[in-house]
Structure 1
C-alpha cells in the first residue's frame, strides 16, 4: 500500500466544505488548537499570517474571521481552487497560492506568524520546510504547529486503529516513518534560528485504549471533539517556536 498518499486531498477538494465530507472533521480542530496558540498570540487583528499546507482553507478562514491578514499555500491545486471559491462565497479576502513548503514563493521577513498544522508529517523534508518558514518569518515572529510523534503509540492509534481498523482516516494517508519526534523537530528549529521552543502533548482521544474508544464513540454520537494539553507527547503534540529577534509585537 502506498503511504503518505496525498492524492486523497485532490480527490476530496470538491467536497471540502461539505459537512459530510471525509475531511470536514478537520475543521473542528481549529477551536481546539487555538486554545494553545492564543497563549502566544492573544490578538490576531492586522497580523500577516501564512498558513503552510492550507488544504481547502479551514485554518485560513478561521484566522481571517479573527481579523488576520491571511495567505495560504498548498501543493494541491484542486484544494487551492476550492479554498478560493469558498473564500469568495463568504466574502473573505485570503491570498491563496499553489506551492510546496520546501520552496515558499515569498520574500524573506514577510510574515508575523506562520501556522503549520497537520502538515509536518507529510512534507518531503522537515528541515528544509522549517528553514523556509524561518526565512519568511519576521524577526521575533512565531511558528505555530502541531504534528505526530514517531512512536509505537502513534502507529497503534493513527495507523492500526484509525486507518486500518475503524477506517475513520483513509488508508495510506500517513506514513509512520515520516512522523517527527519533538527532539528532532526542536533540533531543526534551533538550526533554523528559532531560539524559543515550547511543546506540549495535544490530547484529542484520551491516553488509554478505553478512553480512546469512549472518545471515538462520543464523536460518532455528537460530532464533537475536545482537547487537553499536557506533557505527554507520544502521539499528537502542539507547539510554538519564535524566530530570533524581537521586532514583532502581538499586543
Structure 2
C-alpha cells in the first residue's frame, strides 16, 4: 500500500506564493538569502560522497539528482549548471510551470514534474543524490515520507535534508521573528509543532535505512544580515547528510 505523505493544506500555502519564487525581495526572500549556504553544503557533500572535484567545470556530470519539493527551482538550476541530470519534483502543481519557464529562460534542461516522493518510488525512479530541503516539516508523516525518499536513493547515494529544530528559540526566530516581526513569510507558513529535532530526524533517517554522516547548522547573523554554516549551532535551522549503504 502506498502512503500519501502530502498535506493538501501545506501544498495550498505554497501554490498561493508560486509566482514569487524568483523575486529575491518577495515572499521567498528568506530562501534567497539562505540559498548560498544550502548550495555550498549540498555541493560539498555530494562531491565528497561521489569523489568529484567541486572546482571542476561540471563536477556532477553523469550524476542523477532529485530536488524533491523543488519549488521554483532555486537549487535545481545550480545543480544543472554543475552538470547533473536534474529531476525537480513538487506536490504544488503551480510551482512547476514557474520553474519550467525560468529554466527555459536560463537555457537549462531540467525535468520538472508535478509529483510526489512516493509516486516516484512506485515508478522505480532512482537517484545518486537527493536534495530534500525544507520539506519534511510540511508533511503529515515524516517517517513515511523519508522512507519513500530512501527508496529513491541508489546504494552509495547521499541525501541532503534540511529542516527546523523544535524548541523555544525556533518558535521565537522561525515563527515570531520570520512571520510576525520581519514578515519574511506569510503568517501560518510553518507550524511549530511540526518542527523536528536533530535527534528525531536522525532516528527517522536510521529507520529508513540511511546512515547519518554529517549535520550542521544554518545560522543567521542580524548584524551582517547573512547566513553561515555552523559546526555546532543546530538550534534553529539545520541540515544533514545521510548515505544509503552499498548493496
Q: Please report the TM-score for the alignment, with normalisation by the length of structure 2.
A: 0.85
User: Runs of 5+ in structure 2 lacking a partner?
Assistant: 1-8, 48-58
Is residue 2:90 matched to residue 1:74?
yes
Runs of at least 4 residues of structure 1 off by over 4 A? none
Is residue 2:228 matched to residue 1:227?
yes
Is residue 2:184 matched to residue 1:168?
yes
User: Runs of 5+ in structure 1 lacking a partner?
Assistant: 207-211, 219-224, 247-251
Q: State the 1:84 CA deviation.
A: 1.1
Give the direction of change, closer, same or farther, for the CA distance of 1:194–1:132 in structure 2 (3 Å limit).
Answer: same
How many residues were matched structurally? 228
1:123-156 alpha-carbon deviations (Å, 9 max, x no partner): 2221111111110110010001211011111001
Q: Which has the higher contact order (CA 8 A, sep 6+)?
A: 1
Aligned residue in 2 for 1:13: 18
Aligned-partner Cα distance in 2 for 1:61–1:74 = 15
Aligned residue in 2 for 1:222: none
Aligned-partner Cα distance in 2 for 1:243–1:110 = 12
1:190-229 alpha-carbon deviations (Å, 9 max, x no partner): 11111243212221x14xxxxx4x34xx4xxxxxx23132
Q: State the 1:235 CA deviation.
A: 0.6
SS, match of residue 76 in structure 1: coil
Aligned residue in 1 for 2:213: 197
Is residue 2:68 matched to residue 1:63?
no
Give the direction of change, closer, same or farther, for the CA distance of 1:175–1:103 in structure 2 (3 Å limit).
Answer: farther
Confirm or deny: 8 A CA contact 2:100 2:112 kept in the other structure.
Answer: yes
RMSD: 2.0
Confirm or deny: 8 A CA contact 2:161 2:241 kept in the other structure.
Answer: yes
Aligned-partner Cα distance in 2 for 1:13–1:152 = 30
Aligned-partner Cα distance in 1 for 2:107–2:86 = 13
